[in-house]
Amino acid sequence: MPVSVEPTSVDPSQNGSAPANAGTGTPADVPEAEAMRPHAEDAFAGELAALAAQDDRPRPARWKLSPWAVATYLLGGTLPDGTVITPKYVGPRRIVEVAVTTLATDRALLLLGVPGTAKTWVSEHLAAAVSGDSTLLVQGTAGTPEEAIRYGWNYAQLLAHGPSRDALVPSPVMRAMAEGMTARVEELTRIPADVQDTLITILSEKTLPIPELGQEVQAVRGFNLIATANDRDRGVNDLSSALRRRFNTVVLPLPESPEAEVDIVSRRVDQIGRSLDLPAAPDGLDEIRRVVTVFRELRDGITTDGRTKLKSPSGTLSTAEAISVVTNGLALAAHFGDGVLRPGDVAAGILGAVVRDPAADRVIWQEYLETVVRERDGWKDFYRACREVSV
């Protein structure tokens, strides 16, 4: 027979986090300002509140915002009262609109793309805007068990009293079904195929059987699921055709232009730097452009001017890796330099990102340095810095 799962009350001091069985909440004794990486609903609480206050459009059941407001939250804009909503995703508007619309239907959403295309970032912000809680998360790995998606047991209770509601430990997906919220499954294709298929009944029948109790949990209106998958993981644990049919797939592309990628990197570096109390680097935009140029040229296999073909290394050289390289360089400049981001601060990070295979990638990097970087006007300091760390 159908059965409901009692929603777990959440103390405001816990930053809107999930209980311990979800494994993602911030402990109550850690102030929000001290969290290294606040959840999206906490970091952008002001923007979400401003959108909710001025959002007069129809909202699907249990949504905190209308689909239009969710898209505005992700893409950015200015509200009638002058409140500025910062962009969370820089890319084609239609992609965001399709993703948001999918969540308003009975189909789950699969965000697909190469590493570093902001799949996790978009997933988190979608859940925060739709449900006000991005912490109902299952992290996919090769060792993810079926219990992480369905439910587990409190074995002390189980041994003492046998199968019962008190002994059952709901998964984040089960909680989302019972409370009409958005669940997230990260790196779906890293999860073993037999565990993946646990989602088929949940997504098609909107129920989760509990055969040990002769019961089931039925999803209430507002429930949906966002999964992410990595293009590079194809062939590892490919989705079955039955499971893939339950998803509407949205492919997140790499940034179309160097300017868009520079904008993304500079925004995220600024956000991360402020969260780590790193000083803003004056004149750092030149080095960000340089990192983005190197990554794009090696990734595309051709120089920006189209004159020289290049060999591509084994790494992905994604936007996320560019953000990491610049952030690390900013920390070097702040703690061991004069606070100005210079070529020497990013050179080591670029080397680590490019040379993943010490044999093949090092040859590709050396060839790129000598044939492209060395001859490029204004890049002499960068060339020398890269040569020093490459020796």
4-19 pLDDT, tens digit per residue, is 444 333 333 333 333 3
Angle at 120 between CA 179 and CA 233, to 5 degrees: 115
Look over the chain and give the mean of its residue pLDDT values, rounded to a whole number.
Answer: 89
Are 14 and 31 contacting, i.e. CB atoms less than 8 angstroms apart? Answer: no
- For the chain, the domains span 2-251, 258-390
Average pLDDT on 144-168 reads 94
Distance CA 48, CA 128 (A): 9
Average pLDDT on 256-261 reads 91
The pTM of the whole model exceeds 0.75: yes
Looking at domain 2-251, its CATH superfamily turns out to be P-loop containing nucleotide triphosphate hydrolases (3.40.50.300)
pLDDT band for position 30 (50/70/90)? Answer: low
Average pLDDT on 171-197 reads 96
Beta strands in 202-349 (DSSP E): 207-210, 215-218, 224-230, 247-251
Distance CA 183, CA 192 (A): 19
